[in-house]
Amino acid sequence: MSTVSDSHAPSRSPIRLTLLTGFLGAGKTTVLNRLLSEPAVTDTAVVVNEFGEVGIDQLLVEAEVSDGLIELSDGCLCCSVRGELVETLERLAERRKDGRPLARVVVETTGLADPTPILAAIMTHPVLSQSYALDAIVCVIDAIGGLANLDANIEARRQLAVADRVLLTKTDLAPEAKDRLVEAVRAINSGADLIEAPQVERLAGRILDCGLSRLDGTPADPERWLGSQGRRETGDGGPRENFGADGGDVHSHGHDGDHHHHRHHDAGHRHGAIRSLSLVHDRPIEEQAVFAFLEMLSTFEGGNVLRMKGVVLTREHPERPLVLHGVRGYLHPPARLPAWREGAVRQSRLVVIGENLNLERVRDLFSAFTGGMRTDAPDRTAIEDNPLAVPGMRFG
Ligand SMILES: Nc1nc2c(ncn2[C@@H]2O[C@H](COP(=O)(O)OP(=O)(O)OP(=O)(O)O)[C@@H](O)[C@H]2O)c(=O)[nH]1
């Protein structure tokens, strides 16, 4: 069903897309201005979307960049102007065909935007899904209003939950709030790189070009991309699955020599139903089984999945990791990396982040399609024959 593309075909390097999110007033424009003032940031277009106050942010950003800035008209990027964003991105990709250099596009979303429909719109677009590769979702969260925003707004929690990089701002103004903010961030997103913006001189190196699509040919680092949620120690080589989930289950982080276990007993209470699940499998998996699993995941839990990312060791091409990336019920065309990074643990790792996600069901599906060891879960044939065999499945 799914076709696999080569993410490193030299003539068709995708434009790297950074989605800059963060609640109202968190400091997104400030971060953008800082990025654009850094000499390393070239061949970059910026798309800014405002909600209500058209023009103000544009003026701020324009002071730093004279070309390449596109401001979308009034409205929320995640709903009313999604079509306009798609057109803008199409136009930018077109311009590259005329020989104008364009390495990346940074889209600053409005503070109220849920980033997942924006990504889903890009992923499902026949042209954009080929010309763009998501580099990272960066969430800006500030030490003054961040905690209250997380408590009060599901959009703020979603922005944080799906982020690859979290930028803490205004810690210079409220240093006393930092520890509690970090704790709250970790309860929702334990895998993202956490960066304290006022402490960092050059931001670009920390938040840009950290995805799997590299133009300079350096080996991508799937482990870094997946964050600590995706990292696991290697086992004895036998079939094995590890599961960690925010909201009560155990996380075990061991890949970087940092062997410890966290329990987030209160995370589920304080932060509603946003959870993440890490799935690890040591043995090569048949490609078809991977796609069958993803199809089932989309069918049963697609509405609950905010984001899914993974690197898979496949039976067909064990030397070339298969990269998976999905948002909501949609899957970006899977791509193969040229090789595993030297020293990388060759195993499949998937991270599923969702809202009201049925963790048990996702775990059982993965187990069924990867030939896992769980004897109490239905196997693949049983599920394909009768989807009702999935525990918790309801109709009506
Ligand atoms: N001291 C300090 N001020 C900051 C920091 N980050 C942002 N600010 C200030 O916070 C205010 C809001 O920052 P913006 O960058 O406009 O925030 P935004 O997220 O773009 O805001 P909206 O576009 O309204 O969603 C501005 O006055 C910034 O100067 C920081 O790390 N330290």
Which protein residue has the closest C-alpha to ligand 1 atom 25?
24
Helices 154-161 and 115-123 pack at an angle, to 10 degrees, of 50
Cβ–ligand 1 contact at 56 (below 6 Å) = no
DSSP track, 228-282: GGG-----SSSS---EEETTTSEEEE-TTS--EEEE-TTHHHHTTTEEEEEEEE-
Which residue would you say has higher pLDDT here, 233 or 110?
Answer: 110
CA angle 84–89–93, rounded 5-degree value = 150
**Cα separations in angstroms, 323 against 150, 186, 269, 293:** 31, 25, 33, 15
Question: CA-CA distance, 189 to 159, in Å (whole number)?
Answer: 10
Which residue would you say has higher pLDDT here, 290 or 78?
Answer: 290
Cβ–ligand 1 contact at 29 (below 6 Å) = yes
Is there a contact between 34 and 3 (Cβ–Cβ < 8 Å)? no
Dihedral (Cα; 133, 207, 247, 298), 10-degree rounding: 0
Which protein residue has the closest C-alpha to ligand 1 atom 8?
27
Please give the structure tokens belonging to residue 180: 């509690």
Question: CA-CA distance, 103 to 109, in Å (whole number)?
Answer: 20
Reported as a pLDDT band with limits 50, 70 and 90, residue 392 is: very low
Domains in the chain with CATH codes: 12-207 (3.40.50.300), 222-389 (3.30.1220.10)
pLDDT surpassing 80 at residue 17? yes
Residue 289's pLDDT is 93
- Strand locations in the chain (E): 5-6, 15-22, 44-49, 69-72, 104-108, 132-142, 165-169, 193-196, 243-245, 250-253, 260-263, 274-281, 305-312, 322-327, 330-331, 335-336, 348-355
Question: CA-CA distance, 245 to 351, in Å (whole number)?
Answer: 10
Residue 102's pLDDT is 83
pLDDT surpassing 90 at residue 185? yes
Point out the ligand 1 atom lying closest to the alpha carbon of residue 26: 19
Question: CA-CA distance, 27 to 313, in Å (whole number)?
Answer: 39
- Residue 196 alpha carbon to ligand 1 centre in Å: 14
Point out the ligand 1 atom lying closest to the alpha carbon of residue 33: 15
Reported as a pLDDT band with limits 50, 70 and 90, residue 10 is: very low
Reported as a pLDDT band with limits 50, 70 and 90, residue 228 is: low
Reported as a pLDDT band with limits 50, 70 and 90, residue 59 is: very low
Query: Is the overall model pTM greater than 0.80, yes or no?
Result: no
Query: Among 84-93, 188-197, 227-236, 336-345, whose mean pLDDT is lowest?
Result: 227-236
Question: CA-CA distance, 348 to 223, in Å (whole number)?
Answer: 11
Does the interface predicted TM-score (ipTM) exceed 0.95? Answer: yes
Q: How confident is the model over 61-94, as pLDDT tens digits?
A: 433 344 455 555 444 444 444 667 788 888 888 8
Residue 70's pLDDT is 53
Which residue would you say has higher pLDDT here, 138 or 253?
Answer: 138
Query: Among 1-15, 123-137, 197-211, 321-335, whose mean pLDDT is lowest?
Result: 1-15
Question: CA-CA distance, 240 to 252, in Å (whole number)?
Answer: 14
Please give the structure tokens belonging to residue 393: 């499945």
Terminal-residue alpha carbon distance, the chain: 28
- Average pLDDT rounded to a whole number, residues 287-299: 91
**For the chain, what is the mean pLDDT?**
73
Which residue, chain included where needed, has tokens 């060891």?
373
- Average pLDDT rounded to a whole number, residues 205-218: 68
Residue 190's pLDDT is 86
Pocket probe mutation, ligand 1, options 20, 23, 24, 29, max atoms within 8 Å of Cβ: 29
pLDDT surpassing 70 at residue 240? no
- Residue 52 alpha carbon to ligand 1 centre in Å: 17
**CA-wise closest residue to 383 among 362, 365, 357, 358:** 365
pLDDT surpassing 70 at residue 350? yes
Reported as a pLDDT band with limits 50, 70 and 90, residue 313 is: very high
